[in-house]
Amino acid sequence: MNCMFAYWIEYAALGVTAGFLAGLLGVGGGLIIVPVLTFMFSSQFVSSPHIAHLAIGTSLATIVFTSISSIRSHNSHAAIDWPTVVRISPGIVLGTFTGSWVAAGLSTCFLKAFFVAFLFVVSVQLLLDIRPKSHRTLPGSFGLISAGGIIGWLSSLVGIGGGSMSVPLLIWCNMPAHRAVGTSAAIGLPIALAGSLGYIITGMHFSDLPALTLGFVYIPAVSCVAVASFASAPFGARLAHRLPVPRLKRIFAGFLLIIALKMLWGII
């Protein structure tokens, strides 16, 4: 019981950190939640062959709650382009749900390696402050649905809300940066809903999962991380207007590189 209580405290601390960083830097908490849960689950469920699946499914489930908080904040500032959200969502849902089914057939080792590669890409993007040039308008419905399918599929394999992909896409399509971030936050909700549902359904077919799981979603971690991140995200968002965010993003990118290298070393 004492050991379980200690894990709950760690989950809450993870939620506070992920929510604060997401609010401060505009970077999805999944980039922190997935690797940390992977490390924690590896020590907590030593014999489970589904560590990565549990970490990704649990991360997506927590994003359901944090994205709702983020949507409320951005919508109060009229920073969400709802017509774009509606047009891209069918592709988002289809891609995310399909990706979760594909992930169920992949090994934990492959999912870890895929996540490491994704971390390296995001880290370089943050370190070099790579931003696309705004030189075109939003594509038609078919183009947005196709883009949504790709974003959703990739997000379901790494357990994130898709902001590291949807924000650059929207800015590339000449949407103002603050509106792109708000719209991306709204896009994160269908990603989280479809992804967590997919990981729950596909996980139901496995009988060797730890107790207190719903498919590939670990309930204690979801409850602790979600509540803590929901509460801490607004504080990070307020500090974003006072602190040197570009410099903090580079520090965060260095931290992600360290995590990626640690995970890569574990795979090797």
Phi, psi of 213 (to 5 degrees): -110, 150
Cα–Cα distance measured from residue 83 to residue 75, given in angstroms and rounded to the nearest whole number? 13
End-to-end CA distance of the chain: 34
78 pLDDT tier (thresholds 50, 70, 90):
confident
Position 94 scores a pLDDT of 96
More confident residue, 170 or 93: 93
CA angle 21, 46, 123 (to 5 degrees): 30
- Residue 185 confidence (pLDDT): 83
Domains: count for the chain: 1
CA-angle at 261, arms to 255 and 265, nearest 5°: 150
Containing structural domain, residue 180: 2-267
Q: Please write the tens of the pLDDT for every residue from 91-150.
A: 999 999 999 999 988 888 899 889 989 888 888 887 777 666 666 677 888 889 999 999
Q: What is the pLDDT of residues 10-68, one digit of tens each?
A: 999 998 888 887 766 666 678 889 989 998 998 888 677 899 999 999 999 998 888 88
Q: Write down the pLDDT at residue 26.
A: 61
Question: What's the CA gap between 240 and 119, in Å, rounded?
Answer: 23
* pLDDT given for residue 169 in this prediction: 86
Instruction: Name the nearest CA neighbour of 189 among 28, 77, 12.
Output: 28
Per-residue pLDDT at 1 exceeds 60: no
User: What is the pTM for the complete model shown?
Assistant: 0.88
pLDDT value for 135: 64
pLDDT in tens, 196-253: 999 999 999 888 888 899 999 999 999 999 889 888 877 776 676 676 767 777 777 7
Gap between the Cα atoms of 69 and 52, Å rounded: 26
3-state secondary structure of 217: strand
Give the pLDDT of residue 237. 67
| Residue 138 phi, psi (nearest 5) | -60, 140
pLDDT of residue 127: 79
Per-residue model confidence (pLDDT) at position 267: 75
Predicted confidence (pLDDT) per residue in 240-262, tens digit: 667 676 777 777 778 788 888 88
